[in-house]
Amino acid sequence: MTDSKTSSLPIEFEEGEAEFLLGHLMSNSEDLLYLILLENKEFVFVNRKFEETLGYTIEDLQSEKFQFGSIISTDSLEEVEARDERRKRGEIVENQIRFWAITKDGRNIPLHASVIELYWRGKPAILGIARDISLETEHLDHLKETIRINQMILDNIPTGIVLLDRFLRMRYVNPKAQEFFGKTNSEMLGKPFLEYVEPQIRETIIEFTRSGPSRGIIKSPITLTQVSPRPRYTQWYFATIHQNEEIVMIQAILVDMTEIISRQKELERKNRKLVEVNNKLETLNKKLDEFVAITSHDLKAPARRIATFGTLLQNSPNLDPNEQEQLRMLVETSRHLVSMIDAFVNFSRLDKAELNFQSFEMEKIIDFVIRMSLKEIIAKNDAEIVISRPLPKIYGDYKLMSQVWQNLIQNAIKFSRDGIPPVIEIFAETKKGYALFYCKDNGIGIPRDKNKVIFEMFTRVHNEEKPGTGIGLSIVQKIIEMHGGKIWVETNEDGVGSTFVFSIPLHSYQ
Ligand code: ADP
């Protein structure tokens, strides 16, 4: 079929010839054939293919209600009638028409027909030779949709895209690239791309195209490009589109690297600062270590000496009871000073302690501490320790954790009420990924407003008669924090005694 615009020449057949010819065409043709009279648009013939495709038999079509107009869609009918009008007015009309036919079961099928005007038994008639173009139409619609989507993507993508022909002239510039160059599409179309970009980029693309179509994607160096309102760091990616080993198009993709570069620079600056601060901190730490070592030594030595002399003097026969009492206090104070210095050194070394994390049962530590370190004080104070077994397993440092329990239990016994034997309950629960451990006593308790300060260094809230340095809880808190947990103290509900609670995160690999 051609698209030529010619008026069909009316052909006249001898009677019999036309019927023979039509009969032959109709039975063998893979096209849909139909013959209609021009005066009333009634069907004279349709072929097998016509019947198969649209579902009507010739009997259907020759019944009264059927005309050509009854089997085509309203839109198509208007077009066909308009064409008829033009033909009647003597205008030249196309002999190719497209219309939507309605099948017997109500579907719409696009047909492309060539029409031949002729005489049928002396009456003007039309022979239509049509083809079902559903598939082509569908493909075309699909293609149109694909093009539309591609266009939409190219127009809205936040990346600049320029399509170049093989002479590196711009054939398409998407809105983002237009914005970057500060020029409209029409200003740039057909212009050489190389005139718009930096020398380094020019080199990249020239080298790229010279190396032939087999190379995949290449990227230019990052360059600082002077565009308004402020310069931007950019990088171009080039990819070729080829056909039969020939480059037909080059895709140039613009990536704005400004944000990334400035973030990178900021990061580098921060890193440098961090290294500086770290170095300073390291020097300071070293100095602090030296200071702690020297002062602890310098302080401990005289304190020890005082205690030793004091003890020696205490044995002197010439002292009255008052002097003896004063000497006893002197010895005690010096010993206290030594243990305070030791505790302080201990605390300051915690940060540097080599951690040895492993999984273990908390009960084991508590049993161990009770057996090895607290036996005496428990017996002396007639203390009872009740453990709700089993306690959760944790992942932590065994040695440090035993220091925690030793401090907590010792305090619970030390701060008991006069004449009331200490009862210490130890229990635990798991909650939101943490194990919570409780150490509850029936001792003298802690005033609510002191719940926080007791964890501070050298803070003691009870009378000075109880021995201690005020550092124990600071060490405990530090150890718990080194395990990723928290510690706090609550006053018991009945107002008697307090409960220390600490959390330790549960690990999946415990
Ligand atoms: P120390 O026990 O050496 O005084 P800690 O840091 O262990 O130092 O405790 C700080 C203070 O907190 C104690 O002096 C005491 O006043 C209070 N405290 C600690 N544990 C308890 C407890 N179980 N009951 C009552 N008070 C406590």
Q: Which ligand 1 atom is nearest residue 460's CA?
A: 14
> Rounded distance, CA 479 to CA 487, Å?
10
- Between the CA of 501 and the centroid of ligand 1 the distance, in Å, is 14
32's CB contacts (< 8 A; 6+ apart) are 46, 47, 49, 50, 53, 54, 111, 113, 128, 129, 130, 131, 132
In this structure, the residue with its CA closest to atom 14 of ligand 1 is 460
- Between the CA of 216 and the centroid of ligand 1 the distance, in Å, is 73
Q: What is the CA radius of gyration of the chain?
A: 50
Q: Strand (E) positions, 362-471?
A: 384-387, 393-397, 423-431, 434-440
6's CB contacts (< 8 A; 6+ apart) are 92, 95
- Between the CA of 174 and the centroid of ligand 1 the distance, in Å, is 73
In this structure, the residue with its CA closest to atom 21 of ligand 1 is 411
9 vs 116, 118, 233, 395, 500, CA distance in Å?
A: 8, 8, 69, 99, 110
Task: Provide the 10 A C-beta neighbour count for residue 426.
Answer: 21
Q: Which ligand 1 atom is nearest residue 471's CA?
A: 6
- Look up residue 360 and give its two tokens: 């273990």
298 vs 58, 86, 108, 445, 471, CA distance in Å?
A: 123, 120, 105, 37, 20
Q: Which of 360, 379, 369, 376 is nearest to 408 (CA)?
A: 369
In this structure, the residue with its CA closest to atom 13 of ligand 1 is 460
- Between the CA of 478 and the centroid of ligand 1 the distance, in Å, is 15
> Rounded distance, CA 277 to CA 58, Å?
97
| Ligand 1 probe mutation, 473, 476, 502, most atoms within 8 A of CB | 473
In this structure, the residue with its CA closest to atom 19 of ligand 1 is 411
In this structure, the residue with its CA closest to atom 16 of ligand 1 is 461
Q: Which ligand 1 atom is nearest residue 443's CA?
A: 24
Residue 350 and residue 479 in contact, taking contact as beta carbons nearer than 8 Å: yes
- Ligand 1 pocket list (CB less than 6 A): 407, 411-412, 415, 441, 443-446, 454, 459-462, 468-474, 498
What tens-digit pLDDT sequence spans the chain (510 residues)? Answer: 344 444 556 677 777 787 787 677 677 788 999 999 988 889 988 888 999 999 998 888 888 778 898 899 998 999 888 988 898 898 888 889 999 999 999 999 999 999 998 998 899 999 999 999 998 888 988 989 988 888 888 888 888 999 999 889 999 999 989 988 888 888 999 999 999 888 888 888 888 777 765 567 888 888 888 877 788 888 999 888 877 777 788 889 998 888 889 999 999 999 999 999 999 988 888 887 887 778 778 878 888 888 888 888 888 888 888 888 888 888 888 888 888 888 888 887 787 778 889 999 999 999 999 999 999 999 999 999 999 999 999 999 999 999 999 999 999 999 999 999 999 999 999 999 999 999 999 999 999 999 999 999 888 888 667 778 888 999 999 999 999 999 999 999 998 999 999 999 997 655
113 DSSP β-pair partners:
97, 130
- Between the CA of 424 and the centroid of ligand 1 the distance, in Å, is 15
